[in-house]
């Protein structure tokens, strides 16, 4: 309960729309965010709680850095029915500006009785990169003050055709973000790590794709990720639709789905096997990503 008791929800909704995630389905694509005064009042109230030790465990929502960032169209007309906000590329009508968040975090740090404010909610690294004016400053603030030990991001995979089935951005953004993160930690003389969340056995993903992901992790990220989950069909998601129909609903084309328990475990183990850190020999596939959405 302590994690929840001393956390502050700043907003709800998510326009990330990852195909395997149900958050957009039950919270909507429009971000509803609280006013700054209301959030600061809650922080002050927490400091009066007898069990509060000065640490706010999380300030965020489904995606922490969507606070205060949304497009004007949704207010009057709702979200576009035929277009996504972030995929396959960030919509030009979405004004990505982290200034409001930087200011809020600064104010929270200044609340008397608060020693540390952690951002435990997920952060979209592609949104940070899209904010040319304040993205780097936001990340700097997060790295300096709001992560403890490691920052978690969720690239989920490395292979373009699997990422396409997931509705996620590509590995180029991940590498750019990683470089920016380590540049900031180096300059700040901080010993911080990036933790990568990845999915095995997502519809469209084969053993070979997991082997390529392993090679990518070892060669480009220089580690073997530990946070690997096997895809679980969740009600109402596009990925679940692909899982059951074995067909991509956006193209109508057949899609490979690993459904056996052994096969799903095997996919995870291809990446998780820590006995050897040698990258497996695989053929590199460069497949163009769909732009059908
Ligand atoms: S205009 Fe762009 S950001 Fe706004 S709802 Fe449509 S796709 Fe999303």
What is the predicted pLDDT for the residue at 148?
Answer: 79
Give nearest CA residue, ligand 1 atom 8.
Answer: 85
What is the predicted pLDDT for the residue at 288?
Answer: 45
What is the predicted pLDDT for the residue at 54?
Answer: 96
Q: Where are the domains of the chain?
A: 1-148, 150-293
What is the predicted pLDDT for the residue at 290?
Answer: 45
Please work out whether the CB of residue 93 comes within 6 Å of at least one atom of ligand 1.
yes
Specify the CATH number of the domain 1-148.
3.30.750.210
What is the predicted pLDDT for the residue at 226?
Answer: 86
Please work out whether the CB of residue 89 comes within 6 Å of at least one atom of ligand 1.
no
Specify the CATH number of the domain 150-293.
3.30.750.200
CA of 24 to the centre of ligand 1 (A): 14
Please work out whether the CB of residue 28 comes within 6 Å of at least one atom of ligand 1.
no
Q: Could you tell which of 15, 69, 73, 95 is best to mutate to test the pocket of ligand 1, judged by most ligand atoms within 8 Å of the CB?
A: 73
Give nearest CA residue, ligand 1 atom 1.
Answer: 93
Q: Point out the residues of the chain with pLDDT beneath 50.
A: 281-293
* Atom of ligand 1 at shortest range from CA of 73: 4
What is the predicted pLDDT for the residue at 1?
Answer: 81
3-state secondary structure the chain: CHHHHCEEECEECCCCCCCCCCHHHHHCCCCEECCHHHHHHHHHHHHCCCCCCCEECEEECCCHHHCCCCCCHHHHHCCCCCCCCCCCCCCCCCCCCCHHHHHHHHHHHCCCCCCEECCCCCCCHHHHHHCCCCHHHHHHHHHHHHCCCEEEEEEECCCHHHHHHHCCCCHHHHHHHHHHHHHHHHHCCCCCEEEEEEEECCCCCCHHHHHHHHHHHHHHHCCCCCEEEECCCCCCCHHHHHHHHCECCCCCCECCCCCCHHHHHHHHHHHHCCCCCCCCCCCCCCCCCCCCC
Please work out whether the CB of residue 80 comes within 6 Å of at least one atom of ligand 1.
yes
Q: Could you tell which of 79, 82, 167 is best to mutate to test the pocket of ligand 1, judged by most ligand atoms within 8 Å of the CB?
A: 79
């Amino acid at each position: 309960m302590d994690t929840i008791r001393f956390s502050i929800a700043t907003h709800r909704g998510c326009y990330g729309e990852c195909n395997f995630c149900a958050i957009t389905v039950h919270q909507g694509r429009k971000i509803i965010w609280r006013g700054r005064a209301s959030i600061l009042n809650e922080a002050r109230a927490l400091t009066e709680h007898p069990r509060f030790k000065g640490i706010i465990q999380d300030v965020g929502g489904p995606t922490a850095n969507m606070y205060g960032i949304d497009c004007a169209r949704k207010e009057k007309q709702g979200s576009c029915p035929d277009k996504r906000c972030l995929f396959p590329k960030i919509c030009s009508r979405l004004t990505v500006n982290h200034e409001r968040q930087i200011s809020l975090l600064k104010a929270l740090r200044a609340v008397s009785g608060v020693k540390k404010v952690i951002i435990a909610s997920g952060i979209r690294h592609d949104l940070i990169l899209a904010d040319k004016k304040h993205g780097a400053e936001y990340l700097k603030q997060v790295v300096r003050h709001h992560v403890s030990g490691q920052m978690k991001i969720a690239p989920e995979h490395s292979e373009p055709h699997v990422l396409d089935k997931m509705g996620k951005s590509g590995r180029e953004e991940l590498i750019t973000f990683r470089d920016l993160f380590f540049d900031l930690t180096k300059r700040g003389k901080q010993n911080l790590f990036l933790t990568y969340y990845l999915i095995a056995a997502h519809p469209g993903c084969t053993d070979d794709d997991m082997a390529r992901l392993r090679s990518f992790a070892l060669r480009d990220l220089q580690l073997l990720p530990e946070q690997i989950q096997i895809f679980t069909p969740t009600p109402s998601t596009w990925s679940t639709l692909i899982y059951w129909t074995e067909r991509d609903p956006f193209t109508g084309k057949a899609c490979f789905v690993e459904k056996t328990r052994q096969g799903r475990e095997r996919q995870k183990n291809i990446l998780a096997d820590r006995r050897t850190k040698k990258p497996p020999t695989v053929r590199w596939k460069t497949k163009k990503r769909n732009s059908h959405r």
